[in-house]
Structure formats: C-alpha cells, structure tokens
Structure 1
Amino acid sequence: MPLFTPKFYLKKPTETEQVEPRDYNDNLDAIDNALTEHFADRMAHFECLSLYKLDKDAFGVFVELQWKRENGKLAKRSVFSRGTPPYYSLRTDTYYHEDGVTAKVIKTYLLTYDQDNALISEVLQ
C-alpha cells in the first residue's frame, strides 16, 4: 500500500513496491493542476494587478483598497476599520477566486501605532 505526501496527497510507493504508471501519471496530473491554479490565481504576483483606492475618510485616508486582475475582476480587497480615524486598528484582507466575487481567503491584521501615531505593526490574527 503506497504512502502519501501531506500537502498534495501524492502517492509514494514503499521501498518494496514498484512504481505503477497510473499512480505516476496521477501524481503528475495533481502537480500540473496545482501549478496551473497557482499561476492563474496570481495572488502571489501582485505586480500583475491594478490598485484602486476608495472611500477616503475626513483625514484623507483611503479605507478600502482593491486590487484587480487584467480582466477587471477583483483579486484582493483590504478594508480598514475599528479604532479612531485616521488610526484604524484592524485591516481585513479578502482574496477572491478568478470570478472576482467568491471569497477564497479572509485574513485580519491588528494595527498598532507608536506614540507619534506612526504605524509600527500589522499582526496577522
């Protein structure tokens, strides 16, 4: 019985097993699909996205940022909230699937400031 890798669940034959062509091909298909999804997603390649700044508050801070793909569909949205403007204490980042509508991942960051009100950290929650 083969062993499996932890992330992509690829089949690994034991030391006493022969490599089966079907298992080998299944592994290659799984790797190909993972790479195809990664390159299509472009989440890791923000230089390929356009940035839009929205909803400027009374202090001139944009409380929403949107990154859009070349086709105009939303890739990422950041919203600043909580705290006392313009020193927001929370940033919520939403990453979107290729359709630009369906959320894939949501991450929140706690923002902290020093005594001069300079942003000093954004800690993932």
Structure 2
Amino acid sequence: MATRTQARESVIGLLYAVDLGNDGIIKYVDDLLEDKKIRNKQKDFALNLFNGVINNLEVIDNEIQSHLNQGGLNDLGNVEKAILRLAVYETLFEKLDKPIIINEAIELAKRLASDNAPKFINGVLDKVKRA
C-alpha cells in the first residue's frame, strides 16, 4: 500500500505537469494514480490534495508570492513551485500539524528538486506558518 509521502509525490508530479501547460492531465488523474499504485485511502488523500490545490491556486500563489524575498512565482523552478503549492495548500486548508507539512515538503524537495530547494522551501513555509 502506498504511503502519504508517495501520494504527495504523485500530486507534485501532477501539479508539475499542469504548470507546464498539460491541463488535459486532469482527465487522467485517476489512471495516473493507479499506475503508481496509489489506491483506496491514499488515492482519496491524493485526489483531495490535487483538487484542493487546483481549486485554490490563486489564493495559494498569492500566499507564496507574498513571502518571496525577491523575484516572483515565475522565477521558481517548476518542481519547487509544485512542492510549495502543495505544502501551502495543506498549511492553509488542511488540519495537519504544520511542522509535519513543512518536514514532508523539505524531504520531498531533497529527493525531487535542486540542491538549494530544501532550504528555500523551509524558509518560505516558515513564513507562511507564522502569517
């Protein structure tokens, strides 16, 4: 059975694809999660996260933008942006402990993003948490 970490990782991949302009992927979310063996409760969890981010994208992006020291959202790498969007969604809209959300985002950044991403993501999420 898939873990929540694996479900989040799949959601990051989906958000990444949407950000690159592949809006059609939304039709295939169920199939893509099934291919990654994300099923049952974890599939529901992943779908909730993905749909939550997509449905609240403007609020999430505004929140991220308000905590960037320099540059804008478009200056971020696509993977980093997907990780931040997911973590900010969870911070703002889900009833999970914020340290768990931040730690999960950092761990995903270590595996999926650039070398500087974990520190950067930690800094932005720390600001979001305190806001």
TM, length-normalised to structure 2: 0.27
Larger strand percent: 1
TM, length-normalised to structure 1: 0.28
Larger helix percent: 2
Point out the structure with max Rg over C-alpha: 1
Q: With CA pairs under 8 Å and 6+ residues apart, which has the higher RCO, 1 or 2?
A: 2
